[in-house]
Structure 1
Amino acid sequence: MLLSQMTDQIGRVLGSRYRLVAPLGSGSSAQVFLADDVRLQRKVAVKVLHPALADDQTFLRRFRAEAQASAKLNHSNIVKLLDSGSDDGPYLVTEFVDGGSLRALLDLGRRLTVAQAADVGLGAARGLDFAHRQGFVHRDIKPANLLFGQDGRLRIADFGVARALAEAAWTEPTGAVLGTARYASPEQANGQAATGRSDVYSLALVLVEAVTGHVPFATDTTLSTLRARVDTDLTVGAELGPLAEVLEWAGRADPDRRPDAAQLRDALADVANGLEPAAPLPLAGAFPADELAPFVDPDPTHLPTAADPGDGDSDGDG
């Protein structure tokens, strides 16, 4: 989505309450704006989903149900969902997290130290553990969904969106990169239902990329990327230091041999406690440099998953 196309939306008011102020980012399924909540006089983020989804009644029902459920996720490491609605298309309103995403930071050529990655992983694992215990599975853990406040605290974004999008009867734009495939678990690659341990696996890949700049198993095509990890455990290099053993545990191909989020949290806490305190993150900010360039999220799309009317520990998940 071109910046000029999004700026045409500036000034639009959704739900008689949220005035779009500035574009924050774009992917194939949504556009994200900074907005003014004119009722409560605060800044918020508004994710406006693709107009084609407005005609998908199955998606809209799932979207409303997932949004209502996700609004109950109140944790310091999860972006707070404030509202949702549908004005010529569905949208979500969340707290505005002003430090930018891990994706934006990495796209600026920055890399995390092992200590910083341990801290980021610890925050994410805490948020995932809380969500999983409430019956939610994220399904789409990737750098673009890991946001930071100016205080450096990590928040996980987009709980409640991935499952609704996966079940939507719409087609991705031609040429869209299946970004989520880069971080998908082996079971997701096989079309099986995601569980909490799927999120753990994806987080392991994200943390490897954050330190090394490279996504494990990533190739030049979606199919080969997915095939590469189906039966292969994650192995990492010495540059991960004391994180290596933990991430290799989290990156096992068999989900039954991986830690759950609570176990990962505890393991990452042990690593962090054994290291010198991490330096503050070099935050990218909510507005990318050069007037939002690079503007398009390189992880724009979702990974289709098998329909799962009952998927174990993800009942009622988001």
Structure 2
Amino acid sequence: MPVALIGLGHWGCRFVPKLLNHALVKGLYCYDIDDARSRRIIQDFPSVKVSSDYESVLNNPEIEAVIIATPVASHYSLAKKALESGKHVLLEKPLTNRVDEAQHLVDLASARALKLMVDHITLYSGAARSIKRLIESQTLGKVIYFDAVRANLGLIQSDVSVVWDLAIHEFALIDYLLGEMPNRVSATGAAFYGSLEEIADVTLSFEGGIVAHVHVSWLSPVKKRKLIIGGMKKMLVFDDMVSDKKLKLFDRGVDLSVNAGVDKPIVTYRDGDCQVLDHDRTEPMVAVISEFMKAISEGREPLTNGAVGLRCVRILQAAEKSVKQRGTSVNLG
């Protein structure tokens, strides 16, 4: 199936070789408003067909699917035009920067029987699928908290805050693992080099008492990608910055016991073994492309469909509102 890639910036360029080498992609068209980027792509990848403008992509009957890797402010208008032209759409995260626009895209894709997918790439790692299985099998017991950090030095964005740029990865992953929306969001942040937050802390509260804390930063001297999941039976650590042993399962935790004649429960601590877990090593971006193409050919919804993207935008918008209100809790129920 021929595919068109819109946007040849940092993320779009990473898509090009993966698309060209993918068995389900039978031709690649590219378009970027910057002609210099298009010329560089042709030099590096001569088989790519460069389109002169976006309208020519939309009017090309050979192109059935469009991948949009542009700044978020342009997502809605570009995706809307593509869906109205009968194209399936894969969007770089986030889906849009407004809930009402995200909802309209979801409704439009449904009305046209087209696939709308968001590139929540964290969900396409083998580690994410392994974590999902551990939670569903009750290996961790009842999950009580998530504690995540995603930090590095830059890249400071001019159009979105660090919450929209980085925290969305954790929001999407937690949504995937729990399958439910938080009912409250609170967030604080600070901006030192511009008008948008470069460092932030977000707390998601869920109906059953689960709490998720997410710390994100563009101002860290070291790169961190770590998620800790606390369960009543066991605990899990996912460290995406190590080359090996990314997933570790700990037989550690807190136990409470009540003895006759004792007013307060006795607290004991388990300090058991640590088990290193293996997982599928398929490159996430390749898995994203496969999911998009297979969802189209098989006539099914992709894992990270428009509804998932919409939920994430709702959380992002609530977090943004909370930051502006200096940490006031925002209800999502």
TM-score (norm 1): 0.30
Give the greater-gyration-radius structure (CA).
2
Structure with the larger RCO, 1 or 2 (CA within 8 Å, 6+ apart) = 1
Higher strand share: 2
